[in-house]
């Protein structure tokens, strides 16, 4: 098992290029199952999650080639059974259910795994499938879905924490080959949903309203092959912006869409971070006067839950009291106890973290619990004095492509090492 060993205290400086979005790539990869023709997806990040999804596609019968960020998939003959041993590793694997149901009219898929950040049930996915006419049965850890035909309808997909990104993606894919018109109310508005919709339209789907709470899909008889380039990863961009601020550095983040990061940029500006926007890049520099802020995570266009942990690490360095309220996942403060090992003063009260910032951080061994917690601990280690060892970085490798390599190019003293047993 590998770790990062970080010698902190070095301001990050230079340029970094953001990879394609993992959260956009996974459902787009699944969508290639909707056609027997070849699809070519560019800008796919080389991550453990995308490699797992490629293996799932192969296990379903698709021919898959993945080289240098370009994925070619031809799903000429496929089966509808997704095995537990693959699906359990990644929650995003549930996205194959919608395409399989649409194309084969039946699927059997294991209940998915993923990061331990709170309950993430798939009940809204199944609700949407049932609304389209599928019969659902859950037994022995597997979901069976079958329909003689799928018929368009109007459905509401809002849940306790708001809209569902993967649920919206799954139902949208299933509806592309359904009879009639499907209207998804309380649809997720995230850029990754828009990117998937754009790919589906290129395949021949009839979709309107993506990026709004109401998405309309007019079913078609068949979809064809297509080519597509995945959008930049907004969470990776936000992570590097926060790392630049935390280390008192200055970093230009290339292949970055500011329109996908409005809530994050707004909070960084409120803290006192200087941000210069160009056509496809951001330059981030720490300002002189830094202020505490309050943050509440919300569905897009609100502040993303996937940036909460990284921002917690930054606010631990800024004098004053900041309050971070998590409204998406109830168990997403697992990084707090590890940040405390580095010297952060943070208390949890219900759904909120009370951050008493301004204390200097000092290096220590810490344990990553999930993907974004890993990134937060790396940021804290970069800002801390002495050495920090972030263990179990396999979590981080699920969502950040060559993060240590990119950080070293910015001047960070970071190396990947084998953990001592």
Distance CA 201, CA 204 (A): 5
CA angle 143, 147, 153 (to 5 degrees): 105
Residues linked to residue 151 through DSSP beta bridges, in sequence order: 179
Distance CA 28, CA 103 (A): 15
Distance CA 46, CA 29 (A): 13
Three-state secondary-structure class, residue 137: strand
Three-state secondary-structure class, residue 119: coil
Please identify which of the residues 39, 115, 189, 256 carries the catalytic annotation: 115
Say if CB 280 and CB 256 are below 8 A apart: yes
Say if CB 352 and CB 323 are below 8 A apart: yes
115 is catalytic: yes
* Other beta carbons within 10 Å of 116: 13
| Cα 405 off chain centre by | 20
Distance CA 215, CA 184 (A): 5
Catalytic residues: 115
């Amino acid at each position: 098992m590998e770790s990062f060993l970080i010698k902190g205290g070095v301001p990050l400086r230079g340029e970094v290029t953001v990879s394609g979005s993992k959260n956009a790539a996974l459902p787009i990869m699944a969508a290639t199952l909707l056609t027997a023709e070849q699809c070519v997806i560019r800008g796919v990040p080389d991550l453990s999650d995308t490699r797992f999804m490629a293996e799932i596609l192969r296990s379903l019968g698709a021919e898959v080639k993945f080289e240098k960020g370009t994925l070619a998939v031809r799903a000429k003959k496929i089966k509808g059974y997704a095995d537990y041993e693959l699906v359990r590793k990644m929650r995003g694997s549930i996205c194959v259910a919608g395409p399989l149901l649409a194309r084969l009219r039946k699927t059997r898929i294991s209940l998915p795994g993923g990061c331990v950040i709170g309950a993430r049930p798939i009940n809204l996915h199944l609700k949407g499938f049932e609304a389209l006419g599928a019969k659902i049965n859950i037994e022995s850890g597997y979901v069976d879905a079958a329909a003689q035909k799928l018929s368009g309808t109007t459905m509401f997909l809002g849940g306790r924490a708001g809209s569902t990104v993967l649920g919206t993606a799954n139902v949208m894919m299933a509806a592309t080959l359904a009879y009639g018109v499907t209207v998804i109310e309380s649809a997720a508005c995230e850029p990754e949903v828009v990117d998937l919709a754009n790919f589906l339209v290129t395949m021949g789907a009839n979709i309107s309203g993506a990026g709004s709470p109401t998405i309309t899909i007019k079913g078609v008889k068949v979809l064809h092959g297509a080519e597509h380039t995945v959008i930049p990863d907004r969470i990776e961009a936000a992570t590097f912006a926060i790392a630049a601020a935390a280390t008192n550095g200055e970093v230009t983040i290339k292949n970055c869409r500011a329109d996908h990061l409005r809530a994050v940029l707004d909070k960084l500006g409120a803290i006192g971070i200087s941000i210069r926007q160009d056509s496809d890049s951001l330059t981030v520099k720490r300002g002189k006067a830094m202020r505490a802020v309050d943050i509440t995570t919300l569905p897009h266009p609100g502040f993303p839950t996937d940036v909460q942990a990284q921002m917690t690490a930054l606010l631990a360095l800024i004098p004053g009291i900041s309050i971070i309220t998590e409204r998406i996942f109830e168990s997403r403060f697992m990084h707090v106890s590890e940040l405390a090992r580095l010297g952060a003063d943070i208390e949890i009260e219900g759904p909120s973290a009370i951050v008493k910032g301004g204390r200097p951080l000092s290096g220590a061994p810490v344990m990553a619990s999930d993907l974004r917690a890993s990134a937060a601990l790396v940021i804290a280690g970069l800002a801390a004095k002495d050495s920090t060892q972030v263990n179990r970085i396999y979590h981080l490798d699920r969502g950040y492509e060559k993060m240590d390599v990119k950080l070293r190019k910015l001047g960070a003293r970071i190396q990947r090492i084998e953990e001592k047993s």
